[in-house]
């Protein structure tokens, strides 16, 4: 008798729990989807609207996308961003793969000090050194130049990402290297042919992060690039929306979609590697 | 201790004298190596030393002198150039000192080896190069990383420190004027005197509130969602999982700019659509338009909520990973001991999440401490002004931005605030990292 009653109360609590679970998830999903849906639909709306709202009545057209490339510098901004992000990605991934490998695989004089150095430097918020970058750019001709920005982006991410990369290299058993060494493989061969193929997932994740960074970075880019034809998309798109008298929200929405869609696709494609990369690097878990 | 005394007894008095001589001689790099009969290495080190001396005479000494005076005549001296050159020279000197130290260690080591087993010492050029390549490989691998960091972290930090102690602002702009060292004046202004102190304290306290509120909101939503979604037997898990990831996948600046428009108090979607909708479905509550972006309070609430939206998926993904990695036997064992669902959650799931993910949670706090995008792109730090160029929702990093880019730039104040930010962030991270195992990761 008593057992039966206990079972029944358990199923009722379960039912309540389920109900609550789905209500929670649905509300959260609505909150997430609502602004995204607004942006997506606005991109296809015709006419000029002052502000975003959810309006599914149409009419729809691709007009905004055409105007984006005909009437604004959006195409140039996009290419600029691809150039900055691409270069940053290649250089940064190369540098952190090499240094992460060195810290994971070799025991050398100064190793522990330099790992601690990375850990501390990693905490310094580089972008905050705005004044220093300003002075350096002023003297080295770095204002209005992409390379200066690229160098800052590359270097700024190195300590943290070397750290994550080292953590991931640590998860690859060292016995592999040792047996290859016994077979007569040299340093480069062990690195290139034995270990590197095994860390591809982490390299992919790091590449994505390094690539996404310049797309979203606003502060330094806004500060260093002062000519509209040099803007990256983040600064360019902001000009559509930051002037209260001239709100081009539909253009903003169209531009935003052309950035967000490819990045989202890359993101979901590489998503399953994120967790292993994060926990392996951050906590050695 | 024991091995030490053993080691000493290996060497005869003559050997000891010889080792001492090699070490001592290598204070001028190369001489110690020559004393060890390593001619190639000795000549190489000597020429590096000669190069440094020449550099020091031609460039270094004037550079350091310039750093001390920052120029005497505005017609010929450009204080900023002098500052930068001085900083560069300091880095070059530090690199040389590291080389000097390594060279002394090397001379001592080789001298000792020559006394114990001389046949292991490399003398020929080929042997030395091979040996260097073999042992130097890891150094070679880290050089690109160090060079890049030197440009974008080490050098800027040095320059920032210097500028914080000068009077570099819109009144003193080279080449028209000279910059001067002013010691701790800038910091004194920030902490003790003048209008800066009030602004600094106001901005700083809001930065702390913002960091705490926004990050904690992210953590609560993220951890809670992960727990809810990872329940056994949940339907539509995949779909929900994808939806929860969207805010992370979309670049944050797009999200914040979109929300900035939606929170427009007169025409934005929140006031024209969401609030009327909520008003119609919720009984007993009267909801009216909210003055987003007009009053400080509601702007702050909006920014914190937006950061919750933007930031929770990262926590959710991380926490999901941790939850899935908890072995089932832990739960089974606890059920045998009669644990209830709540107990399982409280004593197994939650502690495990926090031990594994704590260091990354901390980076979320430091990240928001410097979250320029959300603050600046939402309302440019406004509404209103609280003096010294700061708006009522400005955090330290966006204040720095305004101090540097405004119409009357205060570079020295900006640099001083940067140093304070870095100190806070480093102190906080060090404290947390020392509590966790991160520092032990060295080996």
d(CA B88, CA B66): 12
In CATH, the number for domain B188-442 is 1.10.3720.10
pLDDT of residue B351: 84
Nearest to A106 among B138, B157, B253 (CB): B138
Task: Indicate the length of chain A as a whole number.
Answer: 285
Q: Contacts of residue B271 in chain A, CB cutoff 8 Å?
A: none
Q: Contacts of residue A167 in chain B, CB cutoff 8 Å?
A: 441
Q: Which of residues 143-172 of A touch B (CB under 8 A)?
A: 151-156, 158-159, 162, 167
Instruction: Give the CATH architecture of domain A74-283.
Output: Orthogonal Bundle (1.10)
ipTM: 0.86
Nearest to A282 among B360, B370, B405 (CB): B360
Cα distances from B184 to residues B187, B285, B388, B413, in angstroms, run: 5, 55, 19, 11
pLDDT of residue A278: 61
d(CA B46, CA B42): 6
CA atoms within 13 A on the CB side of B212: 7
Residue A122, C-beta contacts closer than 8 angstroms, at least 6 positions apart:
A159, A160, A163
The DSSP call for residue A191 is: I
Task: Inspect the interface and report whether the beta carbons of B246 and A32 lie closer than 8 Å.
Answer: yes
Task: Inspect the interface and report whether the beta carbons of B366 and A282 lie closer than 8 Å.
Answer: no
CA-nearest of B367, B269, B349, B263 to B311 is B367
pLDDT of residue B130: 80
pLDDT of residue B131: 80
pLDDT of residue B304: 95
Give the pLDDT mean for B159-168: 88
Task: Inspect the interface and report whether the beta carbons of A155 and B149 lie closer than 8 Å.
Answer: yes
pLDDT of residue B50: 92
Residue that is written with structure tokens 């779909």 in the block? B239
d(CA B154, CA B285): 56
pLDDT of residue A4: 59
d(CA A184, CA A178): 10
In the predicted model, what is the mean pLDDT of chain B? 84
CA angle B258/B263/B267 to nearest 5° reads: 100
CA atoms within 13 A on the CB side of A236: 26
Q: Contacts of residue A259 in chain B, CB cutoff 8 Å?
A: 251, 254
Assess A210–B contact: CB distance below 8 Å, yes or no: no
Assess B220–A contact: CB distance below 8 Å, yes or no: no
Task: Inspect the interface and report whether the beta carbons of B251 and A215 lie closer than 8 Å.
Answer: yes
Span A201-235, pLDDT tens digits: 889 888 988 998 888 889 899 989 989 999 999 99
Q: Which of residues 3-32 of A touch B (CB under 8 A)?
A: 21, 24-25, 28-29, 31-32
Residue B427 clears pLDDT 90, i.e. is over it: no
Scored b (16 or more CB within 10 A) or e, A242-263 reads beeeebbbbbbbbbbbbbbeeb
Residue to test with chain A: of B144, B261, B314, most A Cβ within 10 A: B261
Q: Are A120 and B426 in contact (CB under 8 A)?
A: yes
Residue to test with chain A: of B230, B241, B441, most A Cβ within 10 A: B441
Give the pLDDT mean for A114-128: 81
Assess A235–B contact: CB distance below 8 Å, yes or no: no
Nearest CA in chain B to A220: B401
Residue A5 clears pLDDT 70, i.e. is over it: no
Nearest CA in chain B to A88: B148
**Residue B207 — pLDDT band, cuts 50, 70, 90?**
very high
Task: Inspect the interface and report whether the beta carbons of B152 and A115 lie closer than 8 Å.
Answer: no
Domain locations along chain B: 2-183, 188-442
pLDDT of residue B9: 59
- Three-class SS of chain B: CHHHHHHHHHCCHHHHHHHHHHHHHCCCCCHHHHHCCCHHHHHHHHHHHHHHHHHHHHHHHHHHHHHHHCCCCCCCCCHHHHHHHHHHHHHHHHHHHHHHHHHHHHHHHHHHHHHHCHHHCCCCHHHHHHHHHHHHHHHHHHHHHHHHHHHHHHHHHHHHHHHHCECCCCCCCCCCCCCCECCCHHHHHHHCCHHHHHHHHHHHHHHHHHHHHHHHHHHHHHHHHHHHHCCCCCCCHHHHHHHHHHHHHCCHHHHHHHHHHHCCCCCCHHHHHHHHHHHHHCCCCCCCCCCCCCCHHHHHHHHHHHHHHHHHHHHHHHHHHHHHCCCHHHHHHHHHCCCCHHHHHHHHHHHHHHHHHHHHHHHHHHHHHCCHHHHHHHHCCCCCCCCCCCCCCCCHHHHHHHHHHCCCCCHHHHHHHHHHHHHHHHHHHHHHHHHCCHHHHHC
Residue that is written with structure tokens 């902490």 in the block? B191
**Residue A10 — pLDDT band, cuts 50, 70, 90?**
low
Contacts of A242-248 with CB under 8 Å at 24 or more apart are: A242/B380, A247/A50, A247/A51, A247/B261, A248/A48
Assess B182–A contact: CB distance below 8 Å, yes or no: no
Assess A269–B contact: CB distance below 8 Å, yes or no: no
Q: Which two tokens stand for residue A19?
A: 């109900």
Span A69-82, pLDDT tens digits: 988 899 999 999 99
Assess B350–A contact: CB distance below 8 Å, yes or no: no
CB atoms within 10 A of CB B16: 14
Task: Inspect the interface and report whether the beta carbons of A128 and B370 lie closer than 8 Å.
Answer: yes
* Bond from prior residue into B383 cis (ω within 30 degrees of 0): yes
Nearest to B411 among A33, A131, A152 (CB): A131
Interface size A-B, in CB pairs within 8 Å, comes to 292
Task: Inspect the interface and report whether the beta carbons of B160 and A131 lie closer than 8 Å.
Answer: yes
The DSSP call for residue A110 is: T
Residue to test with chain A: of B106, B162, B251, B312, most A Cβ within 10 A: B251
Q: Contacts of residue B376 in chain A, CB cutoff 8 Å?
A: 218-219
Residue that is written with structure tokens 């691709």 in the block? A62
Span B247-306, pLDDT tens digits: 988 988 999 999 988 888 888 888 888 888 888 888 777 777 788 888 889 999 999 999
d(CA A159, CA A99): 10
Span B223-246, pLDDT tens digits: 999 988 888 778 888 888 889 989
Task: Inspect the interface and report whether the beta carbons of A279 and B255 lie closer than 8 Å.
Answer: no
Closest-CA distance, B13 to chain A, in angstroms, reads 29
For residue B166, what are the β-bridge partners? B181
Domain locations along chain A: 2-63, 74-283
- Three-class SS of A23-86: HHHHHHHHHHHHHHHHHHHHHCECCCCCCCCCCCCCCECCHHHHHHHHHCCHHHHHHHHHHHHH
CA quadruple B164, B165, B169, B173: dihedral, nearest 10: -120
d(CA B256, CA B378): 6
Residue B31 clears pLDDT 60, i.e. is over it: yes
Instruction: Please indicate whether residue B254 or residue B195 has the higher confidence score (pLDDT).
Output: B254
Nearest CA in chain B to A260: B250
pLDDT of residue B436: 63
């Amino acid at each position: 008798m008593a057992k039966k009653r206990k079972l029944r109360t358990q199923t009722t609590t379960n039912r309540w729990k389920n109900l609550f679970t789905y209500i929670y998830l649905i509300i959260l999903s609505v909150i997430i989807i609502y602004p995204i849906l607004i942006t997506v639909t606005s991109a296809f709306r015709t006419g000029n609207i002052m502000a975003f709202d959810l309006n599914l009545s149409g009419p729809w057209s691709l007009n905004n996308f055409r105007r984006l490339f005909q009437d604004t510098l959006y195409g140039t901004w996009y290419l600029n961003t691809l150039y900055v992000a691409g270069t940053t990605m290649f250089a940064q991934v190369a540098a952190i793969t090499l240094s992460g490998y060195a810290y994971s695989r070799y025991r050398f004089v100064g190793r522990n000090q330099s790992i601690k150095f990375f850990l501390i430097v990693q905490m310094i918020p580089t972008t905050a050194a705005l004044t220093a970058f300003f002075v350096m750019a002023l003297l080295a001709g770095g204002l209005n130049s992409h390379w200066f920005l690229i160098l800052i982006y590359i270097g700024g991410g190195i300590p943290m990402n070397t750290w994550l990369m080292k953590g991931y290299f640590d998860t690859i058993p060292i016995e592999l290297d040792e047996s290859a060494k016994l077979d007569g493989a040299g340093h480069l061969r062990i690195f290139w042919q034995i270990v590197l193929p095994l860390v591809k997932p982490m390299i992919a994740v790091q590449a994505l992060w390094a690539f996404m960074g310049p797309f979203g970075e606003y502060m330094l880019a806004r500060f260093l690039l002062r000519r509209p034809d040099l803007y990256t998309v983040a600064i360019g798109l902001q000009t559509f929306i930051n002037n209260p008298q001239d709100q081009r929200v539909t253009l903003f929405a169209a531009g935003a979609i052309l950035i967000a869609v490819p990045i989202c696709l890359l993101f979901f494609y590489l998503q399953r590697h994120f967790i292993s990369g994060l926990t392996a690097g951050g906590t050695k878990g | 201790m024991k091995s030490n005394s053993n080691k000493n007894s290996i060497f005869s008095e003559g050997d000891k004298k010889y080792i001492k001589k090699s070490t001592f001689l290598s204070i001028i790099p190369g001489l110690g190596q020559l004393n060890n009969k390593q001619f190639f290495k000795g000549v190489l080190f000597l020429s590096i030393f000669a190069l440094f001396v020449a550099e020091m005479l031609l460039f270094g000494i004037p550079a350091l002198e310039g750093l001390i005076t920052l120029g005497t005549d505005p017609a010929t001296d450009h204080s900023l150039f002098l500052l930068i050159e001085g900083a560069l020279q300091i880095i070059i000197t530090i690199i040389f000192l590291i080389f000097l130290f390594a060279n002394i260690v090397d001379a001592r080591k080789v001298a000792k080896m020559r006394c114990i087993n001389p046949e292991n010492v490399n003398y020929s050029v080929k042997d030395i190069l091979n040996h260097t390549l073999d042992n130097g490989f890891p150094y070679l691998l880290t050089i690109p990383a160090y060079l890049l960091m030197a440009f974008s972290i080490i050098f800027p930090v040095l320059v920032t420190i210097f500028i914080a102690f000068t009077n570099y602002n819109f009144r003193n702009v080279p080449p028209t004027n000279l910059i001067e060292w002013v010691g701790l004046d800038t910091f004194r202004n920030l902490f003790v005197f003048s209008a800066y102190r009030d602004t600094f304290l106001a901005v700083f306290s809001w930065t702390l509130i913002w960091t705490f509120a926004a990050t904690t909101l992210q953590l609560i939503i993220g951890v809670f969602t992960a727990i809810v979604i990872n329940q056994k037997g949940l339907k539509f898990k995949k779909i929900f999982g994808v939806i929860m990831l969207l805010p992370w996948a979309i670049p944050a600046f797009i999200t914040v700019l979109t929300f900035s428009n939606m929170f427009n108090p007169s025409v934005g979607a929140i006031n024209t659509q969401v609030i009327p909708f909520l008003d119609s479905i919720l009984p007993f509550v009267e909801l009216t338009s909210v003055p987003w972006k007009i009053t400080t309070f509601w702007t702050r609430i909006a920014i914190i909520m937006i950061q919750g939206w933007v930031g929770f998926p990262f926590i959710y993904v991380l926490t999901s990973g941790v939850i899935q990695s908890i072995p089932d036997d832990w739960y089974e064992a606890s059920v045998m001991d009669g644990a209830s669902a709540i107990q399982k959650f409280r004593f197994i799931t939650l502690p495990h999440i926090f031990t594994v993910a704590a260091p990354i949670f901390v980076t979320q706090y430091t990240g928001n401490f410097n979250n320029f995008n959300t603050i600046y792109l939402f309302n440019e730090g406004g509404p209103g002004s609280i003096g010294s160029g700061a708006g009522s929702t400005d955090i330290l990093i966006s204040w720095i931005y305004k101090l540097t880019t405004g119409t009357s730039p205060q570079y020295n104040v900006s640099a001083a605030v940067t140093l304070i930010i870095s100190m806070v962030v480093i102190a906080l991270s060090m404290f947390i990292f020392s509590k966790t195992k991160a520092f032990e990761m060295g080996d």
